[in-house]
Amino acid sequence: MKPWSRIALKSVAGLALALVCAGAFAQSYPAKPIRLVVPYPAGGPLDIMARAIGQKLTEAWHQPVVVDNRAGAGGNIGADLVAKSAPDGYTLLMGAVATQAINPALYSKIPYDPIKDFAPVALVAQVPNILVVNPSVPAKSVKELIELARAKPGALNFASGSTGSTGHLAGELFNTMAGVKMVHIPYKGAAPAMADLLSGQVQLMFDNLASSLPNVKAGKLRALAVTTLARSPAVPDLPTIAESGLPGFDLTTWFGLLVPAGTPHDIVVKLNAEIVRALNSNDMRERLEKMGAEPPPDNTPEHFAAFIRSEAEKYAKVVKASGARVD
């Protein structure tokens, strides 16, 4: 046998052995506890869903899933920790629209690449924001709000939990698409922003649907529209901003599971299947419905990867148009 033939055979044999080992590794996975990193403080919707999914995985695989809250720098600290972890399926990230799509445009530099450093596993939820106004604002619809903002440039203030949040960028997108000038007032968290909205210190807010809905039902706020292209099943009678005069307006808060790039594909597929199964369970569907969300109908790793890329492109344009910067 010629030398090059022996080399080729060894290469093929090596590749075959690697594939067999990878398959065996995936079959035995998980063989030890899994760490699920949440890049935000405990108690928020993302953290709550992470713990619920972690419990489902624990029940299915009889291995503990430990939630590790690593907050800071708008989610960058936790995301970076996972990006630099071993690609073995034992460190997961509950990534969000901020860590994977907004922060790369908002910060002049982040310590990880949101596309190259991760392998997307599954989208967990897309939660619509809701445009709410203080009852003192005379506008009863998006059209009337636009007319009011055009008549009084700079007179309307919109609150958000922080600079660069989806609430902030929703307002900036609204400004750009409607050709108006509403002034952004950032707060250190959604709670103080909501407090000032309820007291009338600011006039409106693009807030998380689940947190604003009780105040809307109590008559403390007036809801004008949701920020997603489709109406929310939680408030089916409430129109979208897109159908209320700004076609194409689409902004949502979303989060999903990712692992470090290089994680064996078989493990990614196994994780995806179990997460999709968990999301379609009755109790998880009830949790999602309370947030105004539904499990994605087509939730493969490939679809989630394409979704992240499209969101990154969209928010890069929104951030650039708004001029928002954190550092």
- At 37-80, the pLDDT tens digits run 999 888 888 898 999 999 999 999 999 999 999 988 889 999 99
Q: Do 193 and 141 share a structural domain?
A: yes
Q: Do 121 and 23 share a structural domain?
A: yes
Flag whether 167 is in a domain. Answer: yes
Flag whether 1 is in a domain. Answer: no
Q: Which residues in 2-17 are b (16+ Cβ under 10 Å) and which e?
A: eeeeeeeeeeeeeeee
- The CATH number that applies at residue 190 is 3.40.190.10
Q: Do 235 and 208 share a structural domain?
A: yes
Report phi then psi at 151, rounded to 5: -75, -30
Picking from 244, 278, 308, the residue at the C-terminal end of a domain is 244
Flag whether 2 is in a domain. Answer: no
Q: Do 257 and 167 share a structural domain?
A: no
The token pair at 306 is 């394409």
Q: What is the pLDDT of residue 196?
A: 97
Q: Do 217 and 152 share a structural domain?
A: yes
| 196-253 residue pLDDT tens | 999 999 999 999 888 899 999 999 999 999 999 989 888 999 999 999 999 999 998 8
Give the domain range for residue 167: 128-244
Q: What is the pLDDT of residue 233?
A: 85
Q: Do 89 and 67 share a structural domain?
A: yes
Mean pLDDT of 123-136: 94
Q: Is the pLDDT of residue 25 over 60?
A: no
What distance lies between CA 221 and its chain's CA centroid? 25
Count of residues in the chain = 327
21-25, 190-194, 214-218, 256-260: lowest mean pLDDT where? 21-25
Q: What is the pLDDT of residue 313?
A: 94
Contact residues for 15 (Cβ-Cβ < 8 A; gap 6+): none
Give the residue with greater pLDDT, 287 vs 171: 171
Query: Could you tell me if 121 and 258 are in contact, meaning their C-beta atoms sit under 8 angstroms apart?
Result: yes
Q: What is the pLDDT of residue 15?
A: 54
Q: What is the pLDDT of residue 234?
A: 87
Task: Please state at what angle helix 282-290 crosses helix 45-61, rounded to 10 degrees.
Answer: 180
Picking from 215, 244, 273, the residue at the C-terminal end of a domain is 244
Per DSSP, which regions of the chain are E strands? 34-38, 65-69, 91-96, 118-133, 157-160, 183-186, 204-208, 222-226, 252-260
Q: Do 215 and 73 share a structural domain?
A: no
Flag whether 20 is in a domain. Answer: yes
**Cα separation of 189 and 208, whole Å?**
12
Q: Do 240 and 143 share a structural domain?
A: yes
Q: Do 263 and 275 share a structural domain?
A: yes
Flag whether 295 is in a domain. Answer: yes
| 82-128 residue pLDDT tens | 999 999 999 999 999 999 999 999 998 999 999 999 999 999 998 88
Q: What is the pLDDT of residue 195?
A: 95
Q: Do 135 and 116 share a structural domain?
A: no
**pTM of the entire structure?**
0.83
- The CATH number that applies at residue 84 is 3.40.190.150
The number of distinct structural domains making up the chain is 2
Q: Do 53 and 18 share a structural domain?
A: yes
185-194, 263-272, 302-311: lowest mean pLDDT where? 185-194
Picking from 209, 244, 279, the residue at the C-terminal end of a domain is 244
Q: What is the pLDDT of residue 133?
A: 98
Q: What is the pLDDT of residue 165?
A: 86
Flag whether 271 is in a domain. Answer: yes
